[in-house]
Chains A and B, each alone.
Chain A
Amino acid sequence: MQVKSMAEYAANGETPEVLFWVGCAGSFDQRAQRITKAFVQILDKVGIKFAILGKEEMCTGDPARRAGNEFLFQMMAYNNINTLNAYGIKKVVTICPHCFNVFKNEYPKLGGNYEVMHHTTFLQQLINDGKVVLKDGGAFKGKKITYHDSCYLGRGNGIYEAPREVLQAFDTELVEMKRCRSNGMCCGAGGAQMFKEEEQGTTRVNFDRAEQALETGATVIAANCPFCTTMLMDGVKNKEKEDSVKVLDIAEMVAMSL
């Protein structure tokens, strides 16, 4: 497989179909890198001409903005938008709902207008178009799966069905948690909480949420966000269920079923 950067495409005078915005977690975090690799494996298999920004990609500024550091957010936005506009980027796909939200809702006001898709919507379209076919009903045949709505895909942008449609393509049983869709509960990472110790409380948000997922009796917890994935894995570990229950991004599940 050949993953090419935007700079390489530009040097050859070529234009990719879509820019894959990897995001910081997908680039650096070892767990999230597996999601990144799974997603490019799918893109490669389907034969989509995609590019990454590579070393030119920067944090969107999301955690800075939500922590209250608007100045830092604006600096990151300025730099990213300049890079993307210089390459004439039109279409972006990302595996991070936080990046997705910033691109979709916050960059346009700053001069960054792109058609942006979250990877679960992208995958849903590939499946609907018959470009991705899950082998033998997928790698999770007969298993119980539950799906965790991330805040910035679900409540933040009203995308509840696309990821579920992907999961329905698997030959599995999809069970909902008590809190799901618009009533879904946060994993505890948003609002820059990922980067600090939780405030004092009776328990941790991710412990609570993971327990809700475990209560469904599912053996796979499907997620759509690298931060949720980490938080839920920690929550499952806390209950010492990591051997029997897996937390997986939807892209990983699809990649395992090709």
Chain B
Amino acid sequence: MHIAQQILFIVCAAAAVFFFTKKVKELRRNILLGRDEDISDNKDQRWRNMILLALGQKKMFKKPVPAFLHLAVYAGFIIINIEILEIFIDGITGAHRIFAPVLGGLYSFLVGFFEVLALLVLIGCVVFLIRRNVLKVRRLNMPELKGWPGNDANLILITEVVLMSFFLIMNAADLNLQQMGGEHYTRTEPFWISQHLMGLFSGMSEGSLVALERTCWWLHIIGVLLFLNYLPYSKHLHIILAFPNAYYAKLVPQGEVKNMQEIQNEVLYMMEPDKAPADAAAPTRFGAKDVMDLSWKNLLDAYSCTECGRCSASCPANMTGKKLSPRKIMMDTRDRLEEVGKNINENGEFKEDGKSLLHDYISVEELRACTTCQACVEACPVTIDPLDIIMQLRRNLIMEESSAPQEWNLMFGNVENNMAPWKFSPDDRDAWVNDVN
């Protein structure tokens, strides 16, 4: 019986690791479909950012209530997973609570501590479910969350509640079995939380308790393994990618727009033809039309987004009812990238599908509503930069499609001919001086 369980456990764990690794490789391949961008400078600053922003969740604390709940869920979820180590050893060797005799009193303390965290995770997730579904916090109920993204969010929260419940029930059953003196069940001190749940199961027979304890143990670990494999398909991937994303965050002032070296050169060669190399080739793509035209960092951003909507909640266009939602920009980028990834899986290489990020996913109206105010960039706890994507798509619209509102075309004409965005004579630029001199 034990051997069968051990084999089953090893098979489950191996399968979970295998499929997770496979999917991670696919994500890596997808991210690298993006344009090259050299981000290898300022290593010290980058490590600091990773520790402060990803591990320390510094930016979350702009909103203290969700920040504390999130910290509890996050810390709980990470720390409780130390328990997984024991579960793995027990699962493979057929032992039960292998660390209990070794650690003695410390063991009971640790498990008690994990239980407190588990309770905090449970409470946090319930509050999050209420905020999302009962209080209907605006940023958690925007149109782009209809359907799968909203379900994804609820599924994650419910899964965490269920996993934590299994953990607590398992321990309560275990304590009952310990009291019955079952030989297999190493005596420990009563665990801090589950001792209060013992009463729920006190009337049960030893056989039922063993079944309950085993069922919870199995459901807990299978739940964890399934959840691991769910991550890459879900917004919850941020628990991993927040770290590299914070490391590769933009370090220059937010107001700076990335330079286009190739256009700078074009202008230089036009103004000073003697500087043009003989083999100067015109750029093949201006700005970005599809995900492959974006940089790999933009694509990492898309996979790191957990759709919290702080960006959209602070976007002036979104607040005033425009179509633009920076979160949707990130979700669209990820959805399109996933589509391209599937295309590659099926065809060996990308087969033209007649679609692109621009137009098929993100509309011109959304792009035109942006004021480049950087509120979205500032708001993102994991340093995602939706504005960088918006800018690249805007560049494509103007420079490849010559698509601009009539007023912008007039403005461009004025800048070019009158050196100001309005139709004034350049000779009058200093006319105001006459009023003061």
> Which of A's residues lie within 8 Å of B, judged by CB?
1-3, 5, 22, 24, 27-29, 33, 36-37, 40-41, 52, 54-55, 57-59, 61, 63-72, 74-76, 78, 101, 104-106, 109-110, 151-152, 155-158, 182-186, 188-205, 207-209
With beta carbons under 8 angstroms apart, the residue of B371, B433, B436 that contacts A151 is: B371
In the complex the two chains form, what is the Cα distance from A185 to B435 in whole Å? 35
Shortest Cβ distance from residue A73 to the other chain B in the assembled complex, whole angstroms:
8
Q: A75-B416, A183-B62 are in contact. Are A156 and B271 (CB under 8 A)?
A: no
Shortest Cβ distance from residue A233 to the other chain B in the assembled complex, whole angstroms:
17
**Shortest Cβ distance from A106 into B: residue:** B256
In the complex the two chains form, what is the Cα distance from A203 to B259 in whole Å? 33
Pairwise interchain contact B430-A151, C-beta atoms closer than 8 A: no
In the complex the two chains form, what is the Cα distance from A66 to B264 in whole Å? 16
Q: Which chain B residues numbered 131 to 171 have a C-beta less than 8 Å away from chain A?
A: none
A76 surroundings in chain B (CB, below 8 A): 415, 419
Q: A41-B436, A63-B411, A195-B411 are in contact. Are A155 and B420 (CB under 8 A)?
A: no
Further pairs besides A59-B420, A196-B405: 16, Cβ < 8 Å: A27-B430, A28-B422, A33-B432, A55-B430, A57-B419, A61-B415, A63-B411, A68-B395, A78-B268, A101-B253, A110-B264, A151-B374, A155-B254, A156-B255, A186-B375, A200-B323
Tell me whether B220 is interfacial, beta carbon within 8 Å. no
Q: A65-B257, A67-B398, A200-B322 are in contact. Are A188 and B368 (CB under 8 A)?
A: no
Pairwise interchain contact A156-B416, C-beta atoms closer than 8 A: no
A186 surroundings in chain B (CB, below 8 A): 316, 371, 373, 375
In the complex the two chains form, what is the Cα distance from A121 to B433 in whole Å? 24
14 contacts between A and B (CB under 8 A): A28-B424, A52-B430, A64-B415, A69-B399, A71-B266, A71-B267, A105-B255, A185-B373, A192-B411, A195-B407, A199-B317, A201-B317, A203-B320, A203-B321
Q: Which chain B residues numbered 366 to 410 have a C-beta less than 8 Å away from chain A?
A: 368-375, 377-378, 391, 394-399, 404-405, 407-408, 410
Pairwise interchain contact B372-A151, C-beta atoms closer than 8 A: yes
Pairwise interchain contact B394-A67, C-beta atoms closer than 8 A: yes
Q: Mark B321-363, 1 if CB is under 8 A from A, else 0.
A: 1111000000000000000000000000000000000000000
**Shortest Cβ distance from A186 into B: residue:** B373
Pairwise interchain contact A155-B415, C-beta atoms closer than 8 A: no
Q: A40-B436, A191-B372 are in contact. Are A72 and B430 (CB under 8 A)?
A: no
A156 surroundings in chain B (CB, below 8 A): 253-256, 374
B398 surroundings in chain A (CB, below 8 A): 67-69
Nearest 7 Cβ contacts at the A-B interface = A156-B255, A202-B321, A68-B394, A191-B372, A201-B321, A186-B373, A68-B398
Pairwise interchain contact A54-B371, C-beta atoms closer than 8 A: no
In the complex the two chains form, what is the Cα distance from A52 to B432 in whole Å? 12
In the complex the two chains form, what is the Cα distance from A58 to B427 in whole Å? 11
**Shortest Cβ distance from A101 into B: residue:** B255
Pairwise interchain contact B436-A197, C-beta atoms closer than 8 A: no
Tell me whether B314 is interfacial, beta carbon within 8 Å. yes
A58 surroundings in chain B (CB, below 8 A): 419-420, 426
Q: A2-B437, A41-B436, A66-B391 are in contact. Are A72 and B416 (CB under 8 A)?
A: yes
Pairwise interchain contact A68-B407, C-beta atoms closer than 8 A: no
